[in-house]
Structure 1
Amino acid sequence: MRIEAFGFSDLVRLSVFAGRSSAFLAHVDFDTWTRTAGTVRETGGRLISLWGAEETPGTFTISVAYALEDGILWLKLPVGDGHGGSDGYPDISALFPCATRMQRAVYDLVGLRAIGADDTRPWLNHGNWPADYFPLQKLSSGTEQFQIQEADYPFVHVDGDGVHEIAVGPIHAGIIEPGHFRFSVVGEKVLRLEERLGYAHRGIERLFEHMPALDGHRLAGRIAGDTTVAFTWAYCMAVERALNGRIPPRAQWLRALLLERERIANHLGDLGALGNDAGFAYGLSQFSRLKEDWLRLNNLAFGHRYLTDRIVPGGLATDLDARFVTSMLTQCDQIDTQVRVMQRIYEDQSGLQDRFAGTGILSAKLAEHFGVCGPVGRASGRKIDMRIDHPYAPYHEVQVQMVSDDRGDVAARVAVRFSEIYESTRLIRTLLADLPGGAIVSRIEYSGSPSCGVGWIEGWRGDVFIALETGADGTILRCHCHDPSWQNWPALEHAIIGNIVPDFPLINKSFNLNYAGHDL
């Protein structure tokens, strides 16, 4: 369904750039909020994100972003003392189950409750915040007295003969981020898994407040270190749309080059880790070598292994020297050849296939139910890729080919990663062959009036989304950042059901979701 078909009276089309990715903003009332959610669900639209904000003391808005046929629909609903005395908004989790944790996080951060929601447990607040402390309310100073002892979390209890619980985390054996996993099992068979996240909450969205919009890209790039290109590009896209900036064609193409290099680096690392989790250390050593070579060329060509701070509002901070074009083309050929060799080894290794095939199945129905996106969704037959569905420059010119698998198990998620590497090397060759000349950055200036912008990028995990609101002086009033792991974490709880506990690390790695990006 197209956005104009909803008939919003005050629909505003935010600035549009080259490509076919648009964004619209509308202010709605309670009835329209609920009715629109139902229509979006019925017509196959997706929920991208949900967040809250305090506009003035005691006056709030709740926002939601939907993906529809022709782009993003951003709805803002006023709530609070300034609008009828309500302190809540209509629940949409019955229509979009992935909204459940988003709504819980909204209450923890802003104090707005989803009216009629079944699950109202705290999500980001682990019980050590002061009473009535909401970090995104304007009167919260951050100097309140915090508690040392965390509150007990009310996990869902599973009863039955022989059922017992296994608690894993939040501290894990390795240098990884914190998360708690509560398994209810009979013997080794998992009956239920419940996740507890929020340990990596850093107050990122509060840090954005009052920061000059043209400086916020550095913070955005540090939301998740393995997704720095996607988050920075999404942020800069939001700024450029809010301030009506124009991006040189060369910068657009180089941004895509960086994004595809980020995608390949992460897939190489994941494929090695998946082999290792299944007891195939040779896979880890080979893919680690390939990833290291890939990152070293990043550093030589762009001055940073993980490409942090390379994208800036208006374009790029670093141009690509012509002498590295040949190096990248040669490396793509080498990676393509060597990864195909490793794929044959993986497929012929009976021990690996015994662990991969049929393990951690996420059905297409469950993937659709939770709105799963990115490679995990595509491995369950959910053919969603923003570079194809809502192409932004330069993807509307290079024609990305869809990669998917219908099996939904670990083997499918491995196969999708292999295929995405081949597709990304093809895209890199295309981008380098047709790379425009000219400038890599253009000047962006404040408009002198409040403005809004949206950034929406297909990162290597799925949709990375940023909604930005600026004041007349160009400072940030609200910057909401969304990682695709919000949609994918709940699906992991279902993919493990019926499997054995020792397979969880393998299934978890095949999803490889983000803690830090989820816990903003």
Structure 2
Amino acid sequence: MALSDLGLDLRRLPAPLPIWHGRVDRDTWSATARAVAEQGGRLVSMWGVERHPSPGGVGACASFAVREGLVWLELPIGDAAAGFPDLAPLFPCALRMQRAMTDLSGLRAESSQDQRPWLDHGLWSSARAPLQPGGGSVPANKGVLPADYPFVRVEGDGVHEIAVGPVHAGIIEPGHFRFSVVGEKVLRLEEHLGYVHKGIERRFVELAPLDAHRLAGRVSGDSTVAFAWAYCMALESAWHGEVPERALWSRALMLERERVANHLGDLGALGNDAALSFGLAQFSRLREDWQRLSREAFGHRLMMDAIMPGGVEMDVSPPLCDRLRQQCDAIEREVRALRTIYDEHAGLQDRFLGTGRVTPELAARLGLTGLAGRASSQAFDLRCDHPWGPFDQFKVAMATHHSGDVAARVSVRFDEVFESLRLIRALCSGLPLGELRVDLHPPGEASTGVGWVEGWRGEVFVALETGADGRITRCHCHDPSWQNWPVLEHAVIGNIVPDFPLINKSFNLSYSGHDL
């Protein structure tokens, strides 16, 4: 589908990726969503704004990925009570986003089949939604228990429920999983998240734009580089900042190191969940070495706060570049050996193959994205589809698979590790000379910017608006886990309960990045 076929009045934003912005009426909102869905486009995110058509008015926003890039649509709504056309029949992943819009902005999707609260567990004290003027989400009374969540019940002979969470063993974040099972076979899984609500979207408007990258980098700690870069990209777009080439290369270097670190951790955990503790020990050792060098090079094991508006915080010296390249060579040798062990271990493959399968057809229908999507033939990767600097100087090889099971998601992780190691070597070898950062200045008028970055889990999206005074008026961050958590419910159907930890880890979705 060509963007011109949509018939929209759009303004291209000054971003490094092709991104357009426009306001539409109700009919155009629905017709555009339908056209995007029919032509294989994707819903990236949905959120509410407090602005249209005048102070006190509100609006619904949606961003769509189409062939040419990304389209951000705004639907002005005179009154929050009026609601907006439901997009869930076209994009199933919209359902929870819309429920979150109701909780946070007071906007309700018309005729939606699911009106249950999603982030609000019945503990918020304010009569107004947190993102509305005068709203808030301060707990009402200390010691009050959350409201009962109306899970969908499955009834029949031999059916019983298993409740897991929200408190889990170890340090995993909270989430409630309600299994309906017969024996050990899972008939249905329903999730209830929202236990780690932090008020991040409200907090953004209280921060100076040049400081808010630190908050963005804490949306989801395992994706701190991707979120910080997306926020900085949005601010640099809104304020017309030109980032030095050396800074862009350094950012890409950090992004690929973040990708490798997470894949190493997940590959070890997946081996452990299938009773191969050797895999956990070896990959944990490699990840620890990897993160120690990241700390030495970028000041933090997770490279937190290393990306800042206008550039990067610190430089990478030539000796450190040499060590980063050498580490890639050493890691690759060991990971290739470990892949052979994984591929040839009969017990491991028996647990991986066919487990938690998401067919390509189901993945397309539900909007599965990121590495999990690529394991089910959903070939989307911003570094390949819309390469921005410096990825436009490399031919990034996209890792894909068709079987959509745990084995496929493991295979994609291995392939992405090797490709990221190749990219890191190239980035270290060709790191251009030049400045590390430029100063950014507000343009003196209301401005809009978007950040869109391919993180290790999938595409990270940030929509930013600043006022004429240079302050943030709205910042919406989106993690790809919003698309993928609902698909996990389908992936576990027909599997046995003991395989759920393995299936869950093969997706490894974010709780924190889902709950802002």
Match of 1:430 in 2: 426
Rounded Cα–Cα distance in structure 2 between residues aligned with 1:3 and 1:146? 51
Rounded Cα–Cα distance in structure 1 between residues aligned with 2:173 and 2:88? 27
Match of 2:90 in 1: 95
Match of 1:500 in 2: 496
Match of 2:215 in 1: 219
Task: Determine if the alignment matches structure 1 residue 175 to structure 2 residue 171.
Answer: yes
Q: CA deviation at 1:132?
A: 3.1
Match of 2:67 in 1: 69
Q: Which amino acid aligns with 1:406?
A: H
Rounded Cα–Cα distance in structure 1 between residues aligned with 2:426 and 2:303? 20
- Show the 5 A alignment for 1:203-242: 203-242=199-238
Preserved contact between residue 483 and residue 518 of structure 1 (Cα < 8 Å)? yes
Rounded Cα–Cα distance in structure 2 between residues aligned with 1:143 and 1:278? 42
- Show the 5 A alignment for 1:102-251: 102-130=97-125, 132-141=127-136, 145-146=140-141, 148-251=144-247
Q: CA deviation at 1:64?
A: 0.3
- Structure 2 segments unaligned to the other structure (5+ residues): none
Task: Determine if the alignment matches structure 1 residue 291 to structure 2 residue 287.
Answer: yes
For the residue of structure 2 that corresponds to 1:16, the secondary structure is coil
Rounded Cα–Cα distance in structure 2 between residues aligned with 1:257 and 1:286? 24
Preserved contact between residue 15 and residue 234 of structure 2 (Cα < 8 Å)? no
1:224-252 CA-to-partner distances (Å, cap 9, x unmatched) read: 11100000000000000000000111111
Rounded Cα–Cα distance in structure 2 between residues aligned with 1:310 and 1:86? 42
Rounded Cα–Cα distance in structure 1 between residues aligned with 2:173 and 2:209? 29
Rounded Cα–Cα distance in structure 1 between residues aligned with 2:224 and 2:95? 27
Task: Determine if the alignment matches structure 1 residue 12 to structure 2 residue 14.
Answer: no
Preserved contact between residue 265 and residue 283 of structure 2 (Cα < 8 Å)? yes
Match of 1:439 in 2: 435
Q: CA deviation at 1:87?
A: 2.2
For the residue of structure 1 that corresponds to 2:440, the secondary structure is coil
For the residue of structure 1 that corresponds to 2:285, the secondary structure is helix
Rounded Cα–Cα distance in structure 1 between residues aligned with 2:510 and 2:105? 23
Rounded Cα–Cα distance in structure 2 between residues aligned with 1:315 and 1:271? 32
Q: CA deviation at 1:146?
A: 4.5
Q: Which amino acid aligns with 1:208?
A: F
Rounded Cα–Cα distance in structure 2 between residues aligned with 1:311 and 1:5? 38
Identity of aligned residues (%): 58
Rounded Cα–Cα distance in structure 2 between residues aligned with 1:305 and 1:131? 39
Q: CA deviation at 1:302?
A: 1.4
Match of 2:356 in 1: 360
The answer to which of 145-154 and 192-201 deviates more is 145-154
Aligned length: 513
Preserved contact between residue 271 and residue 283 of structure 1 (Cα < 8 Å)? yes
Rounded Cα–Cα distance in structure 1 between residues aligned with 2:378 and 2:421? 23
Question: Would the alpha carbon gap of residues 416 and 198 (structure 1) be closer, same or farther in structure 2, given more than 3 Å must change?
Answer: same
Task: Determine if the alignment matches structure 1 residue 308 to structure 2 residue 304.
Answer: yes
1:425-464 CA-to-partner distances (Å, cap 9, x unmatched) read: 0111111222111111111111000000000000000010
Preserved contact between residue 81 and residue 107 of structure 2 (Cα < 8 Å)? no
Question: Would the alpha carbon gap of residues 273 and 142 (structure 1) be closer, same or farther in structure 2, given more than 3 Å must change?
Answer: closer
Measured on the aligned residues, the alpha-carbon RMSD in Å equals 1.3
Match of 2:408 in 1: 412
Q: Which amino acid aligns with 1:41?
A: A
For the residue of structure 1 that corresponds to 2:404, the secondary structure is coil
1:313-333 CA-to-partner distances (Å, cap 9, x unmatched) read: 111011101111111111101
For the residue of structure 1 that corresponds to 2:75, the secondary structure is strand
For the residue of structure 2 that corresponds to 1:215, the secondary structure is coil
Preserved contact between residue 253 and residue 424 of structure 2 (Cα < 8 Å)? yes
Preserved contact between residue 57 and residue 139 of structure 1 (Cα < 8 Å)? no
Q: Which amino acid aligns with 2:3?
A: I
Q: CA deviation at 1:142?
A: 5.2
For the residue of structure 2 that corresponds to 1:214, the secondary structure is coil
Match of 2:77 in 1: 79
TM-score (norm 1): 0.97
Task: Determine if the alignment matches structure 1 residue 59 to structure 2 residue 57.
Answer: yes
